[in-house]
Amino acid sequence: MIKKIAINTGGGDAPGLNAVIQAATLAATKRGWEVVGIREGYSGLLDPQNYPSGGLVRLTPESVQDISHLGGTILGTVNKGNPFKVTESLQGGIKVEKDRSDELMEAFKKNQIDALIAIGGDGSLTIANSFYKRGLRVVGVPKTIDNDLESTVLTFGYQTAVSFATECIDRLHSTADAHRRIFVVEVMGRYAGWIALNSGIAGRADAILIPEIPYSIQKVADHITSSKRPYAIVVVAEGAKPVGGEVMVMAREAGRQERLGGVAEQISTQLQQLTAQESRAMVLGHLLRGGSPIAFDRILGLTFGAAAVGALAKGESGVMVALQPPRICSVPLAEAVAKMKLVPVEGDGVSTARALDICLGD
Ligand code: F6P
């Protein structure tokens, strides 16, 4: 029997996180469960003394009513907060790693939390899985703008990132044309090229460089010089690397993933030399993660949030909700027009909570 659940957000933020929190809260409250949010990953539970207004936030339908359109996360997040490996500083500047997972399991018990909805990327979900193995009831919700999780077709935040990157690339065409310049646009995505590939195609780039296919700078230069366009736009994923070369790492820090970046500047310099055409580098970086989610990501986030509660209600644990629609296929036209998909509406209106149930076929 579940009476109380907790929700947390971990890793880099992604537009749509608040939509997940909203739907999970609505769906859980409807089932009579109490909902709390843990501040900044697991920190609110582990170190509540650091939060003057409490490490846990009570989430109610009223408190989450107007958040699904907001970027960021109302709970805050961390991307170096693995409770199994907390770095602590001793006297003399010595750093040690401590496993605080027992403390955390105890804190879940003390706060009478029966289950956790963990919203995160590969790092956060690996931690969530470790807690599941320790006996905590856990359902994961995939989150990353990189869209690099194998078992879900889409993650929320990704389409927002692609849309914004496309808008930026669109804007560069006119200034690139006016100056007959090359623009090299670097986008996030870590070791995956999804954002670069799709924003590059949508934004009509001359070349798109992704981690999955190492590039030859000479081939890119030849393509630009042979093009009829007087200017060029090259979209490059931060994790792209040349044939036989390595990804460009900006910083390495203990306890967190390496930070990628700098490839656009390098490529821009090389292209200017090889083509004798002026070139500029442009890094879109965190602009792709900030701001409001587009409608698609709000809906995907809401659907994932409600589905996570549905999974817990069915007794599932140690699972992640995922979007796995069938591939695009052909259906007979007669069948397609005969089967119009209408949302059944009760009475003369439908509440958000009911609409989510309808989406999930409840
Ligand atoms: O995983 C999401 C992501 O935005 C990556 O695309 C990017 O490499 C990384 O996070 C940046 O992390 P941070 O915000 O810690 O610099």
Candidate from 78, 126, 146, 148 with most ligand 1 atoms within 8 A of CB, to mutate: 146
User: pLDDT digit string (tens) for 106-159?
Assistant: 999 999 999 999 999 988 999 999 999 999 999 999 999 999 988 899 999 999
Say how many Å lie between the CA of residue 38 and the centre of ligand 1: 22
307-311: average pLDDT:
94
Please tell me the residue having the least CA distance from ligand 1 atom 10.
12
pLDDT at 236: 98
Annotated catalytic residue 148: no
81-99: average pLDDT:
85
Say how many Å lie between the CA of residue 125 and the centre of ligand 1: 16
Q: Which of 15-24, 134-143, 146-155, 341-350 has the lowest mean pLDDT?
A: 341-350
- Band (pLDDT 50/70/90 cuts) for residue 201 is very high
Any atom of ligand 1 within 6 Å of the Cβ of 20? no
255-280: average pLDDT:
95
309-338: average pLDDT:
85
Contact 210, 250 (CB under 8 A): no
User: How far is residue 51's CA from residue 48's CA, in Å, rounded to a whole number?
Assistant: 5
Say how many Å lie between the CA of residue 201 and the centre of ligand 1: 22
Contact 185, 167 (CB under 8 A): no
Say how many Å lie between the CA of residue 329 and the centre of ligand 1: 34
* Other beta carbons less than 10 A from residue 308's beta carbon: 30
Determine the Cα angle at 48 with ends 254 and 71, to 5°.
Answer: 70
Please tell me the residue having the least CA distance from ligand 1 atom 8.
190
Exactly one of 146, 148, 206, 297 is catalytic; which is it?
Answer: 146
pLDDT at 346: 55
- 352: pLDDT strictly greater than 90: no
Say how many Å lie between the CA of residue 88 and the centre of ligand 1: 24
- 354: pLDDT strictly greater than 60: yes
Any atom of ligand 1 within 6 Å of the Cβ of 100? no
- Band (pLDDT 50/70/90 cuts) for residue 88 is confident
User: How far is residue 125's CA from residue 83's CA, in Å, rounded to a whole number?
Assistant: 13
pLDDT at 332: 77
- 347: pLDDT strictly greater than 90: no
DSSP 9: E
Cα R_g (the chain), whole angstroms: 23
The three-state secondary structure class of 137 is strand
- 6: pLDDT strictly greater than 60: yes
Residue by residue, DSSP assigns 77-131 as: --SS--TTSEEEE-GGG-EEEE--HHHHHHHHHHTT--EEEEEESHHHHHHHHHH
Q: How many CA atoms lie within 13 A of 327 on its CB side?
A: 2
- Band (pLDDT 50/70/90 cuts) for residue 257 is confident
For residue 96, what are the β-bridge partners? Answer: 88
Contact 154, 250 (CB under 8 A): no
The atom of ligand 1 lying closest to the CA of 146 is: 6
The three-state secondary structure class of 307 is helix
Any atom of ligand 1 within 6 Å of the Cβ of 147? no
262-286: average pLDDT:
98
Whole-model pTM: value is 0.92
Q: Whose structure tokens read 């199994």? A: 84
Any atom of ligand 1 within 6 Å of the Cβ of 260? yes
- 183: pLDDT strictly greater than 60: yes
The three-state secondary structure class of 299 is helix
User: How far is residue 159's CA from residue 313's CA, in Å, rounded to a whole number?
Assistant: 29
* Other beta carbons less than 10 A from residue 253's beta carbon: 9
Indicate left, alpha or beta for 233 from its phi (over 0: left) and psi (-120 to 50: alpha).
beta
Any atom of ligand 1 within 6 Å of the Cβ of 79? yes
Candidate from 124, 164, 190 with most ligand 1 atoms within 8 A of CB, to mutate: 190
The atom of ligand 1 lying closest to the CA of 288 is: 4
Say how many Å lie between the CA of residue 190 and the centre of ligand 1: 7
